[in-house]
């Protein structure tokens, strides 16, 4: 098959059975290997969906600039969409993100602005605030805001959920995913629960994030918030894409356990992933 651009290759990623890591578990444990997407993560799906929905709504016009706060993966998906469609990109990132992620984004033509991690979301130095200010200052720019843009959830409802349902022939009983913006967890969960309401959905949270306590108590506890190393999951805000009704349970995972499992996934299963996947 011949594709017209790199973004047409997004999706339909493989499901792979865990063998060594899950040998003590009765039943199949399957992982959906999203680094087979061209930008190496599941964020490609929602990045292109946000761009295409913005084009349809007239929010993104030819020659425009895409501006987003990202931990790296959404930026990569947006950058690939920008290359394919002829836009410029500016990304704000927290200083805890790896140098490799910053370098990769620059390699595909993006401008990257690094901001401090250890400030509140409302602080003018935070990567959220800097992205919003750039969007206000730069003409013909579009701020996708992956946290509150419901195209994020829709992308996974339309693609990830159906792929998992079809690849498991509808036999899936549990779905677990990291929760950051919430789009992949909640969009996929929504589709799976529509097919079978008994599918149990488990959100993976990190220590230093507010999600688990908020789900269980309804309390947004700022004392829960502190810096952590794992990238891409957990938040100190409540994104609109996190639909708590779609998440049956939350489990918190430490940075150490994430890192150890990441190494084991590589050595024992040949899956070269990051800490959020380890979580």
Catalytic positions? 43
Among 92, 144, 149, smallest CA distance to 121 is for 92
Dihedral sign for Cα atoms in the order 211, 71, 35, 59: positive
Residue 31 CA to residue 134 CA, distance in Å, equals 38
Contact status, residue 262 vs residue 277, Cβ threshold 8 Å: yes
Instruction: Evaluate the CA torsion angle 244, 144, 227, 185 in order and state its sign.
Output: positive
Tokens of 120: 């509140």
Chain center to CA of 67: 17
Please give the C-alpha separations between residue 5 and each of 80, 83, 142, 277, in angstroms, as whole numbers.
9, 9, 22, 28
Nearest to 48 by CA among 83, 74, 78, 89: 78
The CB density around residue 216, as the number of other CB atoms within 10 Å, is 11
């Amino acid at each position: 098959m011949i594709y017209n651009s790199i973004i047409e290759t997004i999706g339909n990623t493989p499901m792979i059975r865990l063998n060594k890591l899950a040998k003590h578990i009765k039943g199949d444990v399957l992982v959906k290997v999203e680094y087979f997407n061209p930008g190496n993560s599941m964020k490609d799906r929602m990045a292109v969906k946000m761009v295409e929905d913005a084009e349809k709504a007239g929010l993104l016009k030819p020659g425009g600039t895409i501006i987003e706060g990202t931990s790296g993966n959404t930026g990569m998906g947006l950058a690939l969409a920008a290359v394919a469609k002829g836009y410029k990109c500016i990304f704000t990132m927290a200083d805890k993100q790896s140098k490799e992620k910053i370098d990769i984004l620059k390699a595909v033509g993006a401008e990257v602005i690094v901001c401090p991690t250890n400030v509140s979301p409302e602080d003018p130095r935070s990567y959220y605030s800097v992205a919003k200010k750039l969007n206000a200052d730069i003409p013909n720019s579009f701020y996708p805001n992956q946290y509150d843009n419901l195209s994020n959830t829709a992308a996974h409802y339309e693609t990830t959920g159906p792929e998992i349902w079809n690849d498991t022939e509808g036999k899936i009983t549990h779905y677990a995913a990291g929760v950051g913006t919430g789009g992949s967890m909640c969009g996929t969960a929504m589709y799976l629960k529509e097919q079978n309401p008994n599918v149990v959905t488990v959100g993976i949270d990190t220590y230093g994030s507010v999600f688990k306590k908020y789900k269980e108590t309804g309390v947004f506890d700022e004392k829960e918030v502190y810096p952590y190393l794992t990238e891409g999951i957990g938040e100190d805000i409540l994104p609109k894409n996190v639909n708590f009704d779609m998440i049956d349970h939350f489990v918190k995972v430490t940075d150490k356990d994430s890192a150890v499992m990441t190494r084991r996934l590589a050595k024992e299963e040949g899956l070269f992933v990051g800490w959020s996947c380890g979580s």
